[in-house]
Amino acid sequence: MTLVNAWIQEAADLAGIPGTFRAELSERGPQLVVLSGDSDRQPAELAASPGTIRFLTLMPEVRHALRTGGTLFADHIDSLHPDLFAQILPLFRNAETNPRHAQLVFASQNPALLDEDILRRDEIMLVSRNRDTGESTLYPLSDFSVAPGSYGHRYLSGRYGAVPPAGILFSADGERREERKGKETEIL
């Protein structure tokens, strides 16, 4: 636990997050706490945002993957502030910080990450679900002929598929309506 706590504190210091953070085991399992004084501690949730806590608890996993050359799977990494995420991705791309060729595989719903300055087209995988069968299909953005630049706005317009099903809305009179790309149609 000493090494994990060193990595958590290093991450907090590098990101400019004030406080002394450490992981502790409690009856509920591992918990991130903030220390103040010699023995006063409080749950990190009382002192930091969920994104900050996610960053601090993710960093030991990042460091472990980089040290071992492993693969880190991170779900919804977009819960991090973009500036904190921007500190993680280069660690995996730099030969000096990643000499063992560790990989980062993450899920995100943030279209701002769909930019050639952040990720190459062959690094972006999209998932489309068949509404009838529930079957999901995974395919790379590199399957599409795409102009350079930001791919996010084209993704949001549905150009690459992988658009979630339309949401169900309720009108002011309580009638259900289905929204499709900004248009409302009544559901019978």
User: For residue range 115-132, what is the model confidence (pLDDT) as tens digits?
Assistant: 888 888 999 999 988 888
Residue 140's identity, in one-letter code, is: P
What is the pLDDT, as a whole number, of residue 61?
A: 93
In the predicted structure, residue 186 carries a pLDDT above the cut 50? no
- d(C-alpha 57, C-alpha 127), whole Å: 27
Pairwise pLDDT comparison (174 vs 144), residue with the higher score:
144
- φ, ψ of residue 137 in degrees (nearest 5): -125, 130
In the predicted structure, residue 187 carries a pLDDT above the cut 60? no
What is the pLDDT, as a whole number, of residue 165?
A: 62
In the predicted structure, residue 66 carries a pLDDT above the cut 90? yes
Domains of the chain: 1-74+82-108 (3.40.50.300), 110-188 (no CATH)
In the predicted structure, residue 180 carries a pLDDT above the cut 50? no
Q: Mind giving me the DSSP string for 63-113? A: HHHHHHT-EEEETTGGGS-HHHHHHHHHHHH-TTT-TT--EEEE----GGG
- φ, ψ of residue 38 in degrees (nearest 5): -80, -35
Hey, is 12 helix, strand or coil? helix
- d(C-alpha 128, C-alpha 112), whole Å: 19
What is the pLDDT, as a whole number, of residue 166?
A: 60
